[in-house]
C-alpha cells in the first residue's frame, strides 16, 4: 500500500495527498518518479483510480485529472477514495514520444509487468502492484486518439472466467460515462485495461481527442464523464442533468464494435469525405485516393453501418494503411 505525504484535512474529514512512486535511478543518480494523487473521504466506499499519459504524447488526460482533483477540493467526496497516476510515462512525455524513449517500448503492451523484466515491464509492475494493493472497484484509463476524433468509451473483450465479474461490472459502469461505448474487436493482451480485467479489476478506457496538445474542449468532456461515473458509484452528489455527449439517437443505448477498416488498397494522397461523428452507411464513399498528378486511384467505400470515430492524422496513403476508425453496428 502506498503512503501519502502532506495530507490535508478537508471540512468533511476528506484528506488529499500528493506524493511520488519511484520507478528508477538514472546513471547520474537522479530519481525518476511517477506523481501520485489521492483524495479520501471520511466515509468508507469505493476505491477508484484515474490514470493517464501511459503514452507520452497523450497529454489531455493529465489536465483532466488535475481539474477533477481541483473540483473535489471544492466539493469533497461523499464516500470512498479517488487515487490517480496523472503521468505514467514521464520519459515519453518529456520527449513527446508515444513510447518509453530509452527502450522504445510501448508501456501499454507491458502489463501486468515483471519486476525482473524489461524497463517497460518493470515500470508496469510498479504501477500495477500499487493499484492492485488498494483493491479498487474501478480504474479509468485516459487516452488520446487521432487529431480529428470524437471522444468515446472503449471497453475490452471478455478476459474469460478469471475476470468475468469485473467484465460484467465494467460493462454496466461504461454506460455511465455518457459517451459512445465501443468494444474492442479483438483481445488486446498486455494492455493496462485488459490486464486489470484479467485480475478481476473493472477497467475502462476513455479516448479523449487529439494527442500532443491539451484540448480544452476534451478536458471539459473528460471531467464531466468522470464525475458522471463517480456519481453512479455514489461517491459524489449527482448532477441535476446527467452528462450525455451529443450522439445520434440510434447510438445512445448501443455498444458498438471498433473497426479500423477499410484500409487503403494503394499509395497516394487521401482526401477524406467524412469526419469524426458522422453517421455512415455500408457502401457509402468515405475517402478518395489520388496520385501525385491528381488522378483518382481509388474511392474507399464504408464496409458497415456505423459512426466515424476519427481519421488518420496524415493524408499519405500506402497499401494496408488504416484510414479511419469506425464504431460499427
Q: What DSSP designation does 98 have?
A: S
The SS3 call for residue 21 is: strand
pLDDT score of 13: 64
Identical fold between 8-246 and 255-328: no
pLDDT in tens, the chain (329 residues): 344 444 444 444 678 788 999 988 766 656 789 999 999 998 999 999 999 999 999 999 999 999 999 999 999 999 999 999 999 999 999 999 999 998 999 999 999 999 999 999 999 999 999 999 999 999 999 999 999 999 999 999 999 998 999 999 999 999 999 999 999 999 999 999 999 999 999 999 999 999 999 999 999 999 999 999 999 999 999 988 999 999 988 888 889 999 999 999 999 999 999 999 999 999 999 999 999 999 999 999 999 999 999 999 999 999 999 999 999 99
Domain ranges for the chain, please list them.
8-246, 255-328
pLDDT score of 1: 39
Task: Please tell me the CATH superfamily of domain 8-246, with its number.
Answer: Zn peptidases (3.40.630.10)
The SS3 call for residue 30 is: coil
pLDDT score of 5: 44
Give the Cα separation of 90 and 96 in Å (integer). Answer: 10
Q: What DSSP designation does 262 have?
A: S
User: Do residues 158 and 170 touch, judged by C-beta distance below 8 A?
Assistant: no
Give the Cα separation of 57 and 318 in Å (integer). Answer: 24
Burial class (CB in 10 A: 0-12, 13-18, 19+), 45: middle
Q: Report pTM.
A: 0.93
CATH architecture under which domain 255-328 falls: Beta Barrel (2.40)
Q: Which of 221, 184, 190 is nearest to 205 (CA)?
A: 184
pLDDT score of 222: 98
Residues in the chain: 329
Amino acid at each position: 500500500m502506498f503512503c501519502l505525504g502532506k495530507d490535508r484535512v478537508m471540512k468533511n474529514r476528506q484528506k488529499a495527498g500528493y506524493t511520488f512512486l519511484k520507478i528508477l535511478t538514472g546513471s547520474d543518480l537522479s530519481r525518476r518518479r511517477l506523481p501520485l494523487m489521492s483524495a479520501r473521504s471520511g466515509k468508507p466506499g469505493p476505491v477508484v483510480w484515474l490514470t493517464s499519459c501511459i503514452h507520452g504524447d497523450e497529454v489531455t488526460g493529465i489536465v483532466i485529472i488535475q481539474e477533477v482533483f481541483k473540483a473535489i477540493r471544492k466539493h469533497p467526496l461523499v464516500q470512498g477514495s479517488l487515487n490517480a497516476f496523472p503521468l505514467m510515462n514521464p520519459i515519453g512525455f518529456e520527449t513527446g514520444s508515444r513510447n518509453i524513449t530509452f527502450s522504445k517500448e510501448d508501456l501499454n503492451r507491458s502489463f501486468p509487468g515483471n519486476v525482473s523484466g524489461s524497463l517497460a515491464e518493470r515500470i508496469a509492475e510498479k504501477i500495477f502492484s500499487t493499484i492492485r494493493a488498494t483493491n479498487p472497484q474501478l480504474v479509468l484509463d485516459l487516452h488520446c486518439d487521432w487529431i480529428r476524433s470524437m471522444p468515446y468509451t472503449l471497453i475490452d473483450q471478455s478476459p474469460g472466467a478469471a475476470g468475468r465479474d469485473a467484465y460484467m461490472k465494467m460493462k454496466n459502469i461504461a454506460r455511465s460515462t455518457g459517451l459512445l461505448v465501443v468494444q474492442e474487436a479483438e483481445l488486446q493482451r498486455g494492455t493496462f485495461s485488459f490486464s486489470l480485467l484479467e485480475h478481476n479489476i473493472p477497467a475502462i478506457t476513455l479516448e479523449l481527442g487529439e494527442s500532443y496538445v491539451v484540448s480544452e474542449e476534451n478536458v471539459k468532456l473528460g471531467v464531466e464523464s468522470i464525475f458522471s461515473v463517480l456519481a453512479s458509484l455514489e461517491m459524489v452528489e449527482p448532477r441535476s442533468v446527467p452528462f450525455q455527449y451529443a450522439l445520434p439517437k440510434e447510438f445512445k443505448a448501443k455498444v458498438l464494435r471498433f473497426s479500423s477498416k477499410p484500409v487503403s488498397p494503394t499509395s497516394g494522397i487521401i482526401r477524406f469525405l467524412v469526419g469524426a461523428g458522422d453517421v455512415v452507411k455500408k457502401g457509402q464513399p468515405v475517402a478518395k485516393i489520388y496520385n501525385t498528378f491528381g488522378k483518382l486511384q481509388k474511392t474507399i467505400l464504408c464496409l458497415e453501418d456505423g459512426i466515424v470515430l476519427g481519421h488518420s492524422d496524415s493524408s499519405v496513403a500506402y497499401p494496408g494503411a488504416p484510414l479511419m476508425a469506425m464504431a460499427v453496428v
